């Protein structure tokens, strides 16, 4: 190989990485938009507020759900098929040191996929691509499944059933076997223009002739890949441990580890999937080029790539009477740049929105049990103050629960009691004085002298502090006056709109009427009905998305019943380890506690490997 070929191939790898980055980003964008929209649509049609383990099978049996899932599977399969065809074409050109651009990879892959689907056996092509995608994307799928409660729950139920486990093992082995035998079927279809069944037969024959060589190459490549992955993973964990140890207080180290461990595992799963796809197709293509037939169709592919780059530009330049060598951008390049800008804009906005509003996706019960700091970190700072909210963030709580009321002059402030006596020592009521007076009161000395001079904050101040950092559970405190209650609801909802806080807060109240007022203003804001005890037929109130129940009255029947109706179960106020363990076993969706650090350790502690904490111990030495 001469120097020019080596330089061209180095550039080719850079082009491939750029293509993969663009294509994966485009795929994630479209999949997210389709999944999120379809998921919301089906839930709304079925009348569910949330998807839970108990109503999941009813959800999946619905014909609309099946139709939507089938559509999503087809879309994902097509995306994966186009990517596979693109990689096949790229690597066959790469081994010949043929230079290609992102535009040539993308549009050649799309054109060849369309040609492939026009031939006989398109259903077999799509079915094989689905199986191939499931096998190839297994690490990433496993990471997502482990992160979300429902897939993990399904896997647990299946494993516990001997018959179900046998079916799953058989299905997995069958998929692996089919994927192995047909690994080169798409190569023959794309580069040799055969039917899929003929390509599958030739793929099987090629592997039988070179089985030992094939396994040796694939094993060695994947061994090196996994060794590199483990090294990178270990480095990331060590750096994460060091950063957490240096930036977090001693009492929240475990909670911080529990939070970062999931994120590290998820993104490493995505990384190993992407790199595994690139490396494996490189090995497969090199093997096919060496031991497979000399298919002349690759020359036709090269001509097609040249045509894609120049055909529109040449036509326009000839029409305009200018020299075709000026290199004006073709229609294909413009479309690619437009797509790249749009995809980049979407992801930048998503990241910005995540930082601003707290999450890229709504926090449904799919994501597990969440921890809410009661009145902020009220065990360590004066309740319902900015100091308590800051500590709630430090303690790694998912939500902070706050209570809001109206002052006499209509300012929304944070305060639990109708009287100011307990927290300020003043025999005044919140509704009986203006905010000007309340803002001067000391709301911290009663808790500890270190907090002397702490003020009672407004809801606006609390939102500005918490936005993009922690979710809020805003409890609407009811008064006897319906007019005042409506005013409080309207002002809180207006503030949610003003700060674009819909995805980062829920509203709760002991007043069912106030929750109805919220839904009259905005059906999309999530509402919770607070119950001091649970008895009677309280389950299916239209204006309620979740029930917040005193934990002593929560049992398995209540959790299952509410989950079957698509409602979440929040419990309050759980501060003991035994109480937290019981709520964890019941599978509640949110635990409101005065000890967020302990709650996170109990709820999520079994998901962290001991080795993770051994790393922390090494860092601390």
Greatest Cα pair distance, the chain, in angstroms, is 93
Question: Among this protein's residues, is 512 annotated catalytic?
Answer: no
For the four alpha carbons of 461, 463, 467 and 472, in that order, the dihedral sign comes to positive
For the four alpha carbons of 112, 114, 119 and 125, in that order, the dihedral sign comes to positive
Euclidean distance between CA atoms 183 and 532, whole angstroms: 60
Long-range interactions of 331-339: CB distance < 8 A, separation 24+: 332/103, 332/107, 332/308, 333/103, 333/309, 336/22, 336/102, 336/103, 336/106, 336/107, 339/22, 339/26
Tokens of 592: 């409101």
3-state SS, residue 589 = coil
> Bridge partners of 400?
373, 472
Answer yes or no: are the C-beta atoms of 108 and 304 closer than 8 Å: yes
3-state SS, residue 177 = helix
Question: In terms of Cα–Cα distance, which of 292, 294, 281 is closest to 210?
Answer: 292
Catalytic residue among 347, 416, 512, 570, which?
416
CA distances from 595 to 25, 112, 244, 370 (A): 39, 59, 20, 13
Please list the alpha-helical segments (H only) found in 322-375.
331-357
Catalytic residue among 374, 448, 512, 570, which?
374
Euclidean distance between CA atoms 317 and 323, whole angstroms: 7
Euclidean distance between CA atoms 123 and 125, whole angstroms: 5
Euclidean distance between CA atoms 113 and 101, whole angstroms: 18
Do strands 399-406 and 412-414 pair parallel, antiparallel, or not at all (unpaired)?
A: antiparallel
Q: In sequence order, what DSSP letters do the residues of 15-31 get, joined into one string?
A: HHHHHHHHHHHHHHHHH
> Bridge partners of 568?
546
Question: Among this protein's residues, is 416 annotated catalytic?
Answer: yes
List of residues 6+ apart from 569 with CB closer than 8 A: 546, 547, 549, 554, 558, 559, 562, 563, 588, 589, 590
Active site members = 374, 416
């Amino acid at each position: 190989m001469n120097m020019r070929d080596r330089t061209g191939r180095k550039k080719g790898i850079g082009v491939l990485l750029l293509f993969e980055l663009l294509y994966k980003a485009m795929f994630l964008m479209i999949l997210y938009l389709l999944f999120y929209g379809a998921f919301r649509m089906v839930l709304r049609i079925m009348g569910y507020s949330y998807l839970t383990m108990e109503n999941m099978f009813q959800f999946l049996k619905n014909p609309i759900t099946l139709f939507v899932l089938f559509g999503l599977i087809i879309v994902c399969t097509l995306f994966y098929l186009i990517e596979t065809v693109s990689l096949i074409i790229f690597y066959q050109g790469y081994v010949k040191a043929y230079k290609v651009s992102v535009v040539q990879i993308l549009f050649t892959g799309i054109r060849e996929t369309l040609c492939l689907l026009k031939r006989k056996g398109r259903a077999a092509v799509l079915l094989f691509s689905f199986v191939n995608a499931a096998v190839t994307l297994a690490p990433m799928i496993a990471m997502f499944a482990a992160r979300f409660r429902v897939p993990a729950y399904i896997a647990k139920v299946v494993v516990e059933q001997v018959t179900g486990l046998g079916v799953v093992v058989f299905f997995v082995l069958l998929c692996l076997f089919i994927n192995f035998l047909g690994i080169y079927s798409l190569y023959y279809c794309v580069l040799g223009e055969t039917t899929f069944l003929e390509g599958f037969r030739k793929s099987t024959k090629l592997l039988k002739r070179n089985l030992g060589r094939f396994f040796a190459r694939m094993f060695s490549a994947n061994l090196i890949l996994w060794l590199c992955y483990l090294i990178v993973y270990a480095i990331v964990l060590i750096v994460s441990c060091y950063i957490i140890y240096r930036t977090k207080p001693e009492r929240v180290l475990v909670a911080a580890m529990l939070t970062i461990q999931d994120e590290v595992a998820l993104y490493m799963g995505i990384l190993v999937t992407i790199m595994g796809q690139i490396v494996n197709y490189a090995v497969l293509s090199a093997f096919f080029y060496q031991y497979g037939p000399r298919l002349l169709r690759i020359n036709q592919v090269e001509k097609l790539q040249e045509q894609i780059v120049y055909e529109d530009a040449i036509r326009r330049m000839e029409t305009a009477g200018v020299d075709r060598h000026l290199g004006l951008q073709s229609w294909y390049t413009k479309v690619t740049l437009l797509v790249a800008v749009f995809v980049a804009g979407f992801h930048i906005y998503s990241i910005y929105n995540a930082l601003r509003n707290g999450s890229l996706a709504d926090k449904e019960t799919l994501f597990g049990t969440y921890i809410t700091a009661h009145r902020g970190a009220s065990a360590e700072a004066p309740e319902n103050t900015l100091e308590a909210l800051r500590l709630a963030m430090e303690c790694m709580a998912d939500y902070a629960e706050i209570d809001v009321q109206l002052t006499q002059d209509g300012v929304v402030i944070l305060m639990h009691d109708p009287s100011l006596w307990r927290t300020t020592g003043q025999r005044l009521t919140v509704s009986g004085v203006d905010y000007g007076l309340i803002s001067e009161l000391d709301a911290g000395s009663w808790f500890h002298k270190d907090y002397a001079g702490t003020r009672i904050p407004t809801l606006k101040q609390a939102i500005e502090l918490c936005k993009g950092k922690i979710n809020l559970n805003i409890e609407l405190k009811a008064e006897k006056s319906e007019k005042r209650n409506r005013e409080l609801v309207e002002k809180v909802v207006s503030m949610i709109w003003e700060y674009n806080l819909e995805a980062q807060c829920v509203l709760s109240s002991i007043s069912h009427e106030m929750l109805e007022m919220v839904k009259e203003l905005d059906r999309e804001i999530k509402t919770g009905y607070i119950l001091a005890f649970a008895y009677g037929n309280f389950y299916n109130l239209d204006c309620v998305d979740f029930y917040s129940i005193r934990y002593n009255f929560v049992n398995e029947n209540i959790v299952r019943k509410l989950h079957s109706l698509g409602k979440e179960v929040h419990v309050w106020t759980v501060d003991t380890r035994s109480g937290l363990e019981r709520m964890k076993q019941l599978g509640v969706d949110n635990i409101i506690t005065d000890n967020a650090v302990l709650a996170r350790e109990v709820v999520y502690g079994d998901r962290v490997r001991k080795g993770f904490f051994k790393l922390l111990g090494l860092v601390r030495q």
